[in-house]
Amino acid sequence: MNNIITIIKKELARFFGDRRLVFTTIIMPGLLIYLMYSLMGEGMMKQMTTPKDYVSKIYAYNMPAEMKDLFAPVKAEWTTWDGNASDKDRVLKEIADGEMDLLVCFPDNFLETVQTYQNSDGSAPQVELYYSSEKSNSLTAYNQINAMLDAWEEQMTNKFDVNRAEGRFGDYDQASETGMIGKLLSGLLPMLIMTFIFSGCSGVAPESIAGEKERGTIATLLVTPVKRSALALGKVISLSIIALMAGVSSFIGTILSLPKMMGDEVDINIVSYDMSDYLLLFAVIISTVFVIVSIISIISANSKSVKEATTMMAPFMIAIMLVSILPMLGVDVGGKAAYAIPLFNSVKTMSGIFGFSTNLPMAIMTIGVNVVATCVLVVVLTKMFDSENVMFGK
Amino acid sequence: MEELLQVKELRKTFQLTAKQQKLENTKEKVKVAVDGLSFTAYKGEVFGLLGPNGAGKTTTLRMLATLIKPDSGDAILDGASIVSQPEIVRSKIGFLTSELKLEDFFTPNYQYDFFSGLYGVDPQIAAARKKELFERFGIDKFAEVKYGNLSTGMKQKVSLVVSLVHDPDVVIFDEPTNGLDVLTAKVVTDFLLDLKSRGKSIIVSTHIFSLIEKVCDRVGIVIAGKMVECGTLGEICGEKTLEDRFFEIYEEKVGRIDE
Ligand SMILES: Nc1ncnc2c1ncn2[C@@H]1O[C@H](COP(=O)(O)OP(=O)(O)OP(=O)(O)O)[C@@H](O)[C@H]1O
Ligand SMILES: [Mg+2]
């Protein structure tokens, strides 16, 4: 027991004594994620939306005066165009370049034709809208005008409405805002958390185990009377502490940048999990860290050099990614049996917690399975430390 | 004299990789490094294993230090078997070899405390011992310098001190003066003699005759993994020098050296 603590202390002293290592493993991931997601979010928002007070610039050709009243709710600056064919290219280019947003063309005698039009008459009069879907302003203008024309058309042949005004039972859409966010987070966060834990651990484990083999310092430990199990546990626990800190840093970065990424549409403050959810989540994360660290430690112990360890870790990383992506795709693979598989169960349980559908028995099973898996893996690691073929072989 | 170490029919083979086969220019898949080696060493003496390159000295000492396990045979060190009680053996010995490296990142001070902790040395005793050993080897001036920044000689001294933090009764030393300049080599030999005068038992391996003559009470000559001659210097050499006697034995067992 004392020896485990001595080894943990040494590993942590090694890690925290190296400011560069602390920066790259713990501080940088959180910082990078925050900056990246914030910038990405802001960029996305700029692309996707038109500012609320934006005034659309619209060309109108042959527009009846009555239509202008119909379009009054649209904030727009209307320019009349005489439809001169020689001028056509210029007008369309202005829309393509984003200088103008839309061109609305009405056929001759539009209103009269519409009034007298019967279904059996053949082709209906057509309104043409020229726009550019690349430009968000143009797209917005198109959508607005199009929606108004549609509504107007419906109104003319109106027999009945669906969901027109205030409903007698309140809102029509029964999806709650928390449910929506929960769905979003339950897909996204498990994957992010798994990635962070993995990258936090993969930064230090190869150094600490394969590196000690490569440099010959592990032999110095092996001639001391320290139990191999103490060595294995000491390494796994200290690496887990570091991986957890890296994970927490990335997590904070993500949480801080989420509002920026999702924009005004989603109010992140609505998301409120219970204290018990947080505790459960923490327990699941810790058990997950242990499993991932143990696996990476075994891979490292089996490698001759840091470089080899890093290479050998790639397939494991891909497996983790694949498993973590499943909730995002909205597929439920494996049902309850999946909770018996370490790491896969973590993803499912975390997804459940973030989606406001915590399943306590399954969460406890997840933690239990992960703890058992860690014990088995630590025994394997112990055996590896005791094997001269693994420690000095090749 | 009381027996310290009984080595009984130790045997160790290594599987050779294709690359190693090429290097050693052999078709054999296994290399017999130690081939049924036996000897006895007594408490309080310095026992020397003498042999040419590749004789199996290092492999033997690594087995005694429990870094690797013998294929067959056993050795009983102060009552503990290297095969079935490796942890007890480890707590009794100090193993010194260039194979054991220290981490560049830590200072001698930290390394000493770390290993003291692992050996379970009482902190007060450890502190007093550290002070004494650091002064003796001139490490005190470099106690807070990272190991990686020390000179080669100073590194050797720190390694030596660190592997003796627990003041073991048995010291196993592979090639104690290899790669050291004459000054550092003298410090190390003097230290060996000092350990002996304090009643420690010492087992060294070397191919340097003068070192054996200077420090060893008894010698075992190892050739091709086998013990070919074992006894006090007087018993082995008679009137001849160790060097002459060694070549005689070698030609007797292996054939002419220039062949
Ligand atoms: N891990 C290993 N794999 C394969 N062969 C090995 C291994 N370790 C040692 N050998 C071989 O075993 C033989 C004995 O090696 P050992 O290092 O014990 O000799 P030595 O007496 O210490 O020699 P030296 O004076 O060169 O140090 C050599 O032929 C060596 O090549
Ligand atoms: Mg050797």
| A342 and A380 co-located in one domain | yes
| Mean pLDDT value of segment B26-45 | 91
So what's the pLDDT on residue A394? Answer: 62
| A230 and A312 co-located in one domain | yes
pTM, two decimals, is 0.80
Task: State the pLDDT confidence band at A189, using cuts at 50, 70 and 90.
Answer: confident
Percent of chain B with pLDDT over 90: 71
Amino acid code (one letter) for A363: A
- Write out the residue range of the structural domain in which residue A131 sits: 56-156
Measured between beta carbons, the chain A residues lying within 8 angstroms of B117 are: 2-3, 6
pLDDT at B209 over 70: yes
Q: Single out the residue in A156, A185, A213 at which a domain terminates.
A: A156
Give the pLDDT confidence of A78-94 residue by residue, as tens digits: 999 888 888 888 889 99
Look at A34-48, B169-183, B218-232 and tell me which has the smallest mean pLDDT: A34-48
Give the pLDDT confidence of A366-393 residue by residue, as tens digits: 999 999 999 999 999 999 999 999 998 7
| Mean pLDDT value of segment A265-292 | 79
Q: Is A199 exposed, middle or buried (0-12, 13-18, 19+ CB in 10 A)?
A: middle
- For B155, the token pair is 């590194």
Q: Most confidently modeled of A38-52, A56-70, A113-127, A165-179?
A: A56-70
| A142 and A224 co-located in one domain | no
| Mean pLDDT value of segment B161-166 | 94
Integer angstrom CA distances of residue B110 from B8, B102, B142: 39, 11, 12
In a domain, A168, yes or no: no
Measured between beta carbons, the chain A residues lying within 8 angstroms of B104 are: 215
In a domain, A50, yes or no: no
Angstroms from B259 CA to nearest CA on chain A? 33
CA distance A343 to A293: 12
pLDDT at A158 over 80: no
Q: Kindly report the number of other CB atoms within 10 A of residue A81's CB atom.
A: 20
Integer angstrom CA distances of residue A127 from A67, A88, A146, A221, A304: 12, 17, 10, 83, 73
Measured between beta carbons, the chain B residues lying within 8 angstroms of A14 are: 103, 105-106
Q: Single out the residue in A102, A127, A156 at which a domain terminates.
A: A156
Q: Which residues surround ligand 2, an ion (CB under 5 A)?
A: B 58
Q: What is the CATH number of the domain that holds A138?
A: 3.40.1710.10
pLDDT at A241 over 60: yes
* For the CA of B52, the nearest atom of ligand 1: 25
So what's the pLDDT on residue A5? Answer: 95
Q: Kindly report the number of other CB atoms within 10 A of residue A256's CB atom.
A: 14
So what's the pLDDT on residue A165? Answer: 65
* For the CA of B59, the nearest atom of ligand 1: 18
pLDDT at A271 over 60: no
Angstroms from B216 CA to nearest CA on chain A? 24
| Mean pLDDT value of segment A245-254 | 83
Integer angstrom CA distances of residue A266 from A255, A258, A259: 13, 10, 7
**Smallest Cα–Cα separation from A289: which of A351, A374, A188, A368?**
A374
Is residue A102 within a helix (H) or strand (E), and if so which, with residue range?
Answer: strand A102-105
pLDDT at B148 over 90: yes
So what's the pLDDT on residue A336? Answer: 82
B58 lines ligand 1 (CB under 6 A): yes
| A319 and A181 co-located in one domain | yes
B62 lines ligand 1 (CB under 6 A): no
Contact of A71 with A145, CB cutoff 8 Å: yes
| Cα dihedral sign, B183-B185-B191-B194 | negative
CA distance A156 to A151: 9
Q: Single out the residue in A95, A121, A156 at which a domain terminates.
A: A156
Q: Using CB atoms, which residue from A212, A224, A392 is nearest to B90?
A: A224
Extended strands (E) in B78-179: 80-81, 93-96, 170-174
So what's the pLDDT on residue A382? Answer: 96
| A92 and A12 co-located in one domain | no
So what's the pLDDT on residue A108? Answer: 87
So what's the pLDDT on residue A176? Answer: 59
* For the CA of B225, the nearest atom of ligand 1: 14
In a domain, A372, yes or no: yes
